[in-house]
Amino acid sequence: MTGKEKTILDLRDVWKIYEMGDVKVPALSGLNLAVKKGEFLSIMGPSGSGKSTAMNMIGCLDVPTKGKIFLEGHDISTMSESDLAQIRGKKIGFIFQQFNLINTLTAMENVMLPMIFQGVPKNERVEKARKLLEMVDLGDRMHHKPTELSGGQQQRVAIARSLCNDPEVILADEPTGNLDSKTGGTVMDFLRKLHEKEGKTIIMVTHDANVAKNADRTEFLRDGKIIKSMRKTAA
């Protein structure tokens, strides 16, 4: 398979069970999910449906109690934390609702930071951070700190940071949750651009049905498994 036909991420009968004393609480109950390379997927569900746990599995932040997770054909479900950290750094870019920027660093320094952990030389870090910030229309704000930027600008810095190591998959956790509707629309424009122009695989968790409409496909979670799937219809 080539291009968008290739499955980049495959969760097979994934369970995550938390033990609280003698009580076992399943956060995921046999989740099955396959994501094609270059696809834009949204995941929706009520509070407690397992969305956050699913994102932790997809993002190599946690391992399942049972089941298999394949990223580009490699089983990551039994990897060590150090191996998962390497995969996170190279293969996955994260965009969070809370932005998670470091307030003592400038926009450029925030974007450069993940590249330091991958051993990228300083001159390459500077050049790439500059290009990414220009791409998200922040070329004139790259030396400003997060407290000097609006919420929308901070989220665009976070988008630039998520791209710094050229990841295969971008995970966006409620990327418009802390933004007004107009600013949220601008952020979604950038995510669509990354999908349509750059061919990035985007997996987004959102509670907002209007935001989810940007995706090619929406999966609905309840009680730790998918109960419904919807695809975007042609205009």
- Spans of all domains in the chain: 38-63+80-231
pTM of the complete model:
0.88
Q: Which CATH superfamily is domain 38-63+80-231 in?
A: P-loop containing nucleotide triphosphate hydrolases (3.40.50.300)
Confidence of residue 234 (pLDDT cuts 50, 70, 90): low
For 196-217, the pLDDT digits (tens) are 998 999 999 998 899 999 999 9
CB 171, CB 159: distance < 8 Å: no
For 128-170, the pLDDT digits (tens) are 999 999 999 999 999 999 999 999 999 999 999 999 999 989 9
pLDDT at 207: 87
pLDDT at 196: 92
Q: Which residues have CB under 8 Å from 216's CB, separation 6+?
A: 39, 40, 41, 231, 232
Q: What is the DSSP letter of 216?
A: S
pLDDT at 1: 40
pLDDT at 86: 87
Q: How far apart are CA 182 and CA 164, in angstroms?
A: 26
Among candidate residues 79, 99, 67, the one with its CA nearest the CA of residue 178: 99
- How does DSSP assign 9-67, residue by residue? EEEEEEEEEEEETTEEEEEEEEEEEEEETT-EEEEE--TTSSHHHHHHHHTTSS--SEE
- How does DSSP assign 120-180, residue by residue? --HHHHHHHHHHHHHHTT-TTSTTS-GGGS-HHHHHHHHHHHHTTT--SEEEEESTTTTS-
pLDDT at 47: 87
For 53-69, the pLDDT digits (tens) are 999 999 998 999 999 99
pLDDT above 90 covers a percentage of the chain that reads 71
For 94-110, the pLDDT digits (tens) are 998 889 999 999 999 99
Confidence of residue 235 (pLDDT cuts 50, 70, 90): low
Q: Is 90 exceeded by the pLDDT of residue 233? A: no
| Average pLDDT of the chain, as a whole number | 92
Opening angle at CA 98, ends 95 and 11, nearest 5: 40
Confidence of residue 4 (pLDDT cuts 50, 70, 90): low
Confidence of residue 2 (pLDDT cuts 50, 70, 90): very low
